[in-house]
Structure formats: structure tokens, C-alpha cells
Amino acid sequence: MSQLDLITGHITIDSPNILGDHANLLLNDRYVLRVGETLQGPSKVLEPAFRPRNHIPGSRQFFIRFEDGFVWNINQESISHKEATFKVIHDLHQTTLETQLRGLGVTIRVFIPPVSTSEIWTIDLVNQTNTLLVVDLFTSIDFEHGGVMESHAAYDKKAKAIINHTFPYHVSYDDKGWLERTVPALTYMYASVAPKSYGTSKERFMGTNRRGKIPKAITLNTCDNIPTTAAQTAGIMQHRMVLSDHQKTHLHLVIGVALEKDAITKHLSGITDAFVEARLCEAKSFTDGLRQSLLIETPDKAFDHKFNGWFKKQLYNMSVNNRMSAHYPIRNVLQDAMGYALLDPEAALQKLIAILETQTIDGFIQQWQHAKGTGPNGLARLIHSDGPIWLVLTGVAIIEQTGDATTFEEKVPYKDAEPEPIRSHFIRAIRHMAQAIGPHGLCLMKDGDWTDPINGIGREGYGESTWNTLSTIVAIDRLMPYVEDESEIERLKQMKERLTSAIRQHAITKTHVIAGYDDRGHPFGDDSNIAGKRYLNVHTWALMTDMLTEKERLMIQNVIKEMDTPLGPVLIDPPYMDYDPMVGRISLKKAGTTENGSIYNHAVMFKAYAESVSGDPDAALQTILSIMPDHKDNPNRHLQIPSYMPNYAFGLKDSPDFGRSSGHDSTGTTAWIYWVMVESILGIRASTKGLEILDIPATRWPIIRLIRQFKGTTYTVLIRHSDRFAVTVDGIPQQLPVLPYQKTTCHVVVERRVI
């Protein structure tokens, strides 16, 4: 199992024989590597051009051959050695394997330099005996498999590296030129010590298709030193190591991608011990910078390490690296940016502006988009309806994190029209949603709302979404304080009144909130359905509005309670067990997975936000803690490393797999954790007026310390239990909710009532 060290924050793994996902994510903004407990995992290139095929699949083998012919698979990927010690240490900036066998100690370390499309591996060997040790180190790294017409690998004497060329042969004539100029087709493997022999063919190296066998080249104690074409290529090197008693030695391996050979040669010519250590320091400085941007200290040290370090790295990859995807819904980009705005508001604002430029003058914005140089896939051809909503909800939140109200006046062009102020973009988005309504006055569904696999409801153009309607109401409330024109404010109020009336008349019942209506006017998310009787999101988002009576609020809270589990509520209850053409694609998904009845952590965060804005921040805190991958009530908590929030947990409560992590880290959950935790649960809220301290109840934690940056000021905020609400700034009682702006530091004490 993987274990989070509560002192250092490192994650350690003491066996190669574990289940589940225990990989560390090492990254910069151009290159990402997932490395697991046996040092396996893919790497992917994001720049200078994103293409999913630009990655190294990740079969990495490290072998030691002793003089007597005994072979040790150091990372135990294919051959187990019970007598060998084994310890993997994941840190934010590196992963290290420490192991020893037969008097030889080996440490393998890998990290990603901050400005690079490569990974650097260092292999340290130490002779722990009093006699001479002569061993051969064999390293095998699989290159990308380009198929029978693509790959060629050979040793390049000038670069002193094995270089593999893989270029997509299924390209049009017009595409070839720009692909060659922008897409790295070369992968390489370099060693700081010249190899005794080398190989380029995985097949010839192994000599067999069976796993668990000693590779043929190691048995022969030499590689074949020849190139490979039209087969599974690999970078394979043999190094003879002669160690006197207690002597240490090492070598560096650089594995990466490039556009041309000259760039490889230039890069590798400077690989020295000093160069590697300098790049390692830069990698650590990068993750330390993420760590210092927003800090929390609570009685829960495991939570602190995740919040202060591990989850920030996940959020960075979600936002800055666009979830490593060439096709993406703007709702993901915007929500990730909303969370990232607490760490880097200017970077988040640039994400928002880039998305605004794809909005059309009618207020609509295409949900699924694709990166430059790639064509639209199936989802990018669909018309999901919720894009304008997220433009407003996240856009207002991002601008608030900048603290600059003039940003609303910044002019940004439309996809099909001249520039207008950002505020006008938001107003047009609201108008679009409020005018695109169906027979019941609810917002249209089209090919799906936030729950985008519900593509059957509105296939004929008349289906309606309660969630779209509720979230548009929430968006109106968020935008109105920043609208100055009185006539525009009045129009927004009228839109809100019409949508609220439609919700009250056609969605809220005595027992639940209906999720919407299909093209023929039949309800879904209702007792009249066989499956999918309750949808979580329409209940949580109803709690975010001001339309409910106290009786309705209690009814909705009871529905959410019925959908709850020890690990958080399920998204849909009961799930669809068979295909239902009424709702469409969502019913094709296995029951208990993803949107079809899982504990979908992103949606659980909507619940946490609803609880916090409803005046119960402690309930919101408990909701967040319940979905942690290492939560004590999760029967499958050891099947995922605690370094990231998964997309979902398996939701069928009667299944032995209940609670099992999806092992998928692409999720908006992390962004919402930061935003809800800081802004709502702790009540340290950014606004264009300044940093506000909310008068809200205390959480279960008696003392919390938060350090956050806002407009150049570092605020250190101590929150503690009391019998009253009070705020002091640098020892002086503060009456106004907005903290004074200073350009240096500010120490704040917040006392909150325990209810």
C-alpha cells in the first residue's frame, strides 16, 4: 500500500506487489510523466504541439547481472525478488526507488526539469561489501510503437544517444509540412556514460514474448548493436560497473522527445553531474512555489499535505496543462481556472479571456472544443447547452480573485463579432440561456447539460433541463452586483423571476426536484421513471438559490441524505441498469460508474458548496473529507495513492467494489476543493472590494491557519473558536468585513461561533 508520511508529506510504497493506482505525476507545462511503484507509466508531450501519440508508453526495465550469471530485475517489473529490499518514495518533484540485494545498493531517481521535454533518471550503485563487485547494468526503455510503417531506431554517435523516429503516416499532403515543423517525431535515450553495448529492438532484447523471463541479451551478456525498423523499438543499454569495496558510482539517463537531431545533440552535450543537480533544484523550486502560493494548517495533517502540495500539482495539470487533452469541454477549462485563480489569478484570467474569444455574439459558446492542429472529435460536434452558464459563474469568480473590478470593462472579441467588455459577454450568455427555453419555461437541454451523457432528452430540440435553469439563476445572482446599468439589472431580475416561476411550477414537487422533461414532455429524474428517479445536481443547486421555502429546503436536504453514502452521495439513484433511449448515452455506462450512479466527486463538491452557502460550513467540510481517497470509511482506500482526487468512486453500495477509485485524475473536484474550502468554508472571500471575512459558523476544527496572497499582500489568517464573531487586523479590532489593503503582510485573527 502507499502511505502518506504526516511529517514530510512524502508518499512511500514498501512493496512492488500492490493493487490499484500508485503513480506519481511529474510534470512541467510541456511534458508529463506518470511513474508508478515499479517505475512504469506513460509520458506525454504537450508542447510545442499537442498530439496524443507523442508519448513514450512506459515499459522501463532495470537489470543487474552479477558475475556468476545471477540476474536481478531492480524495479521488479517482470521478475520478483523476495529477498530484495524495496522502497519507493514519491515526492512532489521526484520519485525514488531504494533497494538492495547481494551486497549491492541501488537508488533510481527520476524527475522532470522545469523547462524541458525530457525526463532525467539517475542510477546510483554502492558496493556494500568488502570485496570487488563487477556487475552489468542493463536498462531498457520502450519507445512509442509506431506500427509497421513508422518507427526506426538507431544509435547516433554524434548525439551519443539511441534515437527513434516515429511519424504519422496517415496524414494528408497539406498536413505533412506543419506536422514536421511542430510535432516532435524523435524520441531518444542518452546515458552520461558510454554504453558497453546497445540495442534498439524490444523483441531481440527479450528473445521471448513471455513476461517473467530473463531477457536473452542479458543471458548472453551483450546487446546486438544494430538498428531496428518496422518493429517495437526500444532504447537498450549495457553498462559495465566495477566497484571496489564500499565504492559508489552512478550514471544519468535522459529520455525525451525533440523535433530534430541537432536539438538533441545540443541538449545532451551539457549533461553533467552539476547540470543534473541544478535542474533537480529547479524542479524542487517549481513545486515549492506551488506549495507556498496558498497554505493551510489544520488539526488534520494528512489534509494539510494534500491541500498544500499534492492537490495543487493535480490542479496545475488540470488547468495549466488543460488536462493533457486535445479535446476538451470549456466547462472543464473554466472550472479548473476558477480553482487555479486562488494560486495564480492572472494565469486564470488569461484562460478565461481565451475562452471568451470563442463565444458568439448571440451569447452561445460551443462546449466541446479542440486544440489548434487537431480536428473535432465526436463530442466536439455535439451542442451541449451549459457553456454560457460556466462562462458567467467561473468568470465572475476568476475576476474576483484578481481583485480588479476594471477587468469587467476589458474588451474581448467574439468569435464572430467585434470586441465588447467582458461584462457584456456575461450578459449575452445569460440572455441566451434565459431565452432558449422549452414548453415548461425551463432552459433547453440540447445534447446535454453539465451531465453531458444525457443526450437523449433533447435530441429533437424541445427537451428541458432543470439544472440548466437553476444554474442560470445562480449565475444571474453572481453577476448582478457587477452590472451598473439599471435597465440591464431590471432585465436580469425579470429573467430570474421567469425562470424561478418555471422551476416552482414544473420542477419542485412535494418529494423531490424533477431533473427535466424530454422532447415529448415526459419528466426524468422523477418517480415515474424506472431508473434515475433522483438526480443529485438539481437538488444541490436548488439549495444555492433563494427561491425555496423552509419546508422545501428540508425536503431537498432529506433527498440528498437518502442519496448519501459514507463516501459521499451518488450522482443518480437508482442507476440505469439497461439502455434507456429516453436519456441516451448515460444509460450505456456501467451502473455505479461515472455519471451513472457513481460517487462523482465533482458533483459531491457542488453539495459541499450548497451546504456552505446554506450556513453549514462544517457539513461542507465533512463532505470534502468523506471523498478523500484515503478516507477511513472507504473499504478500497488502499487501491489508490492519496496524492490526487479521483474522478469518481464506484457507487453500487451492495457491491464488493463499492468505493473503489476510478484511478482517473481528470476531474474538476480539485478546483472546487480550493474554491469552496477557502471562499466558503473558511469564509476568506476575494472580491473586487478586497479580501472579505464572512460572518459564518465555525467548523469542527478549533484552530485553522491560512496564508493566502491577494493583490500583492500576504494575509496570515488565524481562525479559532469563540462565543462571538470578531476580527482583528495586526491587533486592531476590525469592524468592516473587508480587510485593509497593504503591499506587504497582514496578520488577521478571526473568532467564530460554534453552533
* Residues paired with residue 746 on neighbouring β-strands, in sequence order: 715
Residue 223 has pLDDT above 50, yes or no: yes
Which residue is listed with cell 511534458? 31
Cα–Cα distance for residue pair 746/105, rounded to 1 Å: 50
What is the C-alpha to C-alpha distance for residues 52 and 50, in angstroms, rounded to an integer?
7
For the segment 719-728, the average pLDDT, to the nearest whole number, is 96
Q: With a cut of 50, say whether residue 553 has pLDDT above it.
A: yes
Residue type, 625: L
Grid cell digits, residue 695 = 460572518
In this predicted structure, the answer to whether residue 683 has a pLDDT above a threshold of 80 is yes
Average pLDDT of span 587-615: 97
For residue 479, which of 412, 433, 437 has the smallest C-alpha distance?
A: 433
pLDDT in tens, 494-544: 999 999 999 999 999 999 999 999 999 999 999 999 999 999 999 999 999
CA distances from residue 83 to 38, 80, 207, 261 in whole angstroms, order as listed:
16, 9, 26, 43
CB 710 within 8 A of CB 686: yes
Residue 461 and residue 439 in contact, taking contact as beta carbons nearer than 8 Å: no
Residues forming a β-bridge with 186? 165, 258
> Is residue 169 very low, low, confident or very high in pLDDT (cuts 50, 70, 90)?
low
Average pLDDT over every residue of 211-232:
92
pLDDT of 484 over the 80 cut? yes
| Structure confidence at residue 648 as a pLDDT band (50, 70, 90) | very high
Rg for the chain, CA atoms, rounded: 28
CB 506 within 8 A of CB 472: no
Model confidence at 226: pLDDT above 70? yes
Q: Of 386, 452, 564, 616, which residue is the catalytic one?
A: 452
Burial of residue 157 (CB within 10 Å: 0-12, 13-18, 19+) is exposed
Of 193-202, 214-223, 259-268, 700-709, the least confident:
259-268
DSSP 283-331: HHHHHHHHHHTEEEE-S-HHHHHIIIIIHHHHHHHHHTTGGG-SEEEHH
* Digit-coded pLDDT (tens) for 276-309: 999 999 999 999 999 888 999 999 999 999 999 9
CB 72 within 8 A of CB 102: yes
| 175 has a pLDDT exceeding 80 | no
Higher pLDDT, 168 or 391: 391
> Residue 561 pLDDT > 60, yes or no?
yes
Low-confidence winner among 77-81, 227-231, 568-572 (lowest mean pLDDT): 77-81
pTM score:
0.95
CB 575 within 8 A of CB 597: yes
The secondary element (H helix, E strand) that includes residue 33 is strand 31-35
Name the band, by pLDDT with cuts 50, 70 and 90, for residue 566.
Answer: very high
Other beta carbons less than 10 A from residue 74's beta carbon: 28
pLDDT (0 to 100) of residue 373: 52
More confident residue, 136 or 366: 136
Tell which wins on pLDDT, 741 or 248: 248
Inform me whether the pLDDT recorded for 146 exceeds 80.
no
The answer to whether the CB of 683 falls within 8 A of the CB of 665 is no
Rounded CA-CA distance 205/203 in Å is 5
- Give dist(CA 578, CA 411) in Å, integer: 49
With cut-offs at 50, 70 and 90, classify the pLDDT of residue 377: low
| Amino acid at residue number 243 | L
Of the listed ranges 18-22, 159-163, 323-327, 703-707, the least confidently predicted one is: 323-327
- Strand-pair partners of 96: 89, 109
Would the pLDDT of 325 be above 80?
A: no
- 54 confidence band (pLDDT: 50, 70, 90): very low
pLDDT confidence tier of residue 50, bands split at 50, 70 and 90:
low
CA 25 to each of CA 35, 215, 388, 643, 682: distance values in angstroms, whole numbers, following the listed order: 7, 29, 32, 9, 29
pLDDT above 90: percentage of residues in the chain: 81
Mean pLDDT of the 55-66 span: 83
Question: Quick check: is 578 catalytic?
Answer: no
Residue 536: alpha-carbon gap to chain centroid: 23
Q: Does residue 53 surpass a pLDDT of 50?
A: no
Strand 599-600 vs strand 572-573: parallel, antiparallel, or unpaired?
unpaired
Q: How many CA atoms lie within 13 A of 83 on its CB side?
A: 5
- The answer, yes or no, to whether residue 183 has pLDDT greater than 80, is no
Q: Residue 293: is it exposed, middle or buried by C-beta count within 10 angstroms (0-12/13-18/19+)?
A: middle
pLDDT of residue 52: 46
Whether 503 contacts 544, CB under 8 Å: no
User: Cα separations (Å) of 721 from 482, 625, 697, 698, 733?
Assistant: 34, 20, 9, 7, 17
Integer Cα distance of 89 and 13 in angstroms: 7
Grid cell, residue 39, equals 517505475
On the question of pLDDT at 46 being above 90, the answer is no
Among 142-156, 633-647, 663-677, the least confident range: 142-156
**152 strand-pairing partners:** 165, 229
In 3D, which of 726, 749, 751 has the Cα closest to residue 736?
A: 726
As a whole number of angstroms, the distance between CA 116 and CA 462 comes to 50
What 8-state DSSP symbol labels residue 450?
A: S
Higher-confidence residue: 377 or 225?
225
Range 594-611 average pLDDT: 98
- Tens of pLDDT, residues 448-471: 999 999 999 999 999 999 999 999
Q: How many whole angstroms separate alpha carbon 234 and alpha carbon 154?
A: 9
- Please, which residues have CB within 8 angstroms of residue 646's CB and are 6 or more apart in sequence? 601, 629, 640, 661, 662, 663, 664, 665, 667
